[in-house]
Amino acid sequence: MTTGVPTWWSWEAQGRARQRSSSFSVRCIARASWRPRGDALDASQRHALDLLRTRRVRDGLPRPARPCLPLHVTLREFAAALRAPLDPRSALFEHLRARIGVASDIPAPAASLDAVLLRGPWLLVLDGLDEVSAASSRDGVMAAVGAFLERYGAAPHLVVATSRPQGYGGELAGYTHLRLAPLSRARALWYAQDLVAQWYPDDASTRAKLLERLLVASRDGGTARLMQTPLQVTIMAALLLRIARAGVQHKPGRHWTNDQAGAPWA
């Protein structure tokens, strides 16, 4: 967190890893910053907060040291909003205010949000610069971000921008660039466990069989190298599920045919 001088990070990662990392970061900050009364939450909300804490601890991430206002912007959506006649000096502020209103069902008063941003601290995640493909749209997005920081950048804050390496044109030259490391085998299997649980929440047998196949694949050098990002793990799970449905027993070192490489819903 900075005081006056902005700290900018740029994450270079493939799409799903980038989206999960940025979204999880914002949620962890919100979890650490929010201290609701116990009776203010229903069971599903308490479960969501507990799940965030569990996953943060499991992944070895420290608890955010300083509560702040977390703000997440999907740049593809923001670029689309800029096509409407908006004042570029206030475009990002109004976009954030609209998103807060939608998420909370309570309109965010402009004066109140302005005061909070001027005082800080806040975290701003700009997610997916690579998905703003048109050069003119990207220029407009960067101009709006610049105007936002010109007004609010004196407050303690942190800006994180994310992009795939492909499609990144160096627009974030003033940022400290970080590249997400490949998933370790353990983290790939953690992600696989969460993924399979979402696919089959009520089918323990299918979950167990698919996770066993993923475990075998993670031990084989030929397939383990294809399980280094969340997207790769998702594709591997889909392939193994298709193979399982076809009644084929995959063994380490065995090559798959195109007929076996279908999607799980095929």
Q: In whole angstroms, give the CA distance from residue 209 to residue 189.
A: 14
Nearest to 21 by CA among 207, 178, 213: 178
Q: In whole angstroms, give the CA distance from residue 62 to residue 182.
A: 20
Strand 69-74 vs strand 7-12: parallel, antiparallel, or unpaired? unpaired
Average pLDDT, the chain: 78
230: number of Cβ within 10 Å? 24
pLDDT(79) > 80: yes
Predicted local confidence at residue 193, as pLDDT:
93
User: Is the distance from CB of 15 to CB of 168 less than 8 angstroms?
Assistant: no
Res. 145 pLDDT band, cuts 50 70 90: very high
User: Is the distance from CB of 79 to CB of 62 less than 8 angstroms?
Assistant: no
Rounded average pLDDT over 74-81: 92
pTM of the complete model:
0.67
pLDDT(66) > 80: no
SS3 call for 79: helix
Which token pair is 60?
């070895």
Res. 243 pLDDT band, cuts 50 70 90: confident
Percent over 70 (pLDDT), the chain: 76
Q: In whole angstroms, give the CA distance from residue 142 to residue 149.
A: 11
At 184-235, the pLDDT tens digits run 999 999 999 999 998 998 999 999 999 999 999 999 988 999 999 888 999 9
**124: which strand partners?**
71, 159
Question: Cα 49 from chain centroid?
Answer: 17
User: Is the distance from CB of 36 to CB of 174 less than 8 angstroms?
Assistant: no
pLDDT(167) > 80: no
Compute the Cα dihedral for 40, 27, 110, 117 and give only its sign: positive
pLDDT(21) > 60: no
Predicted local confidence at residue 169, as pLDDT:
81
Predicted local confidence at residue 164, as pLDDT:
82
pLDDT(105) > 70: yes
Q: Where are the alpha helices (DSSP H) in the chain?
A: 15-33, 43-58, 75-81, 91-104, 110-119, 135-152, 185-199, 204-219, 221-224, 230-245
Phi, psi for residue 118 in degrees, rounded to 5: -70, -30
At 47-65, the pLDDT tens digits run 777 777 787 777 777 776 7
Residue type, 74: T
Which token pair is 190?
């953690």
Q: In whole angstroms, give the CA distance from residue 16 to residue 248.
A: 29
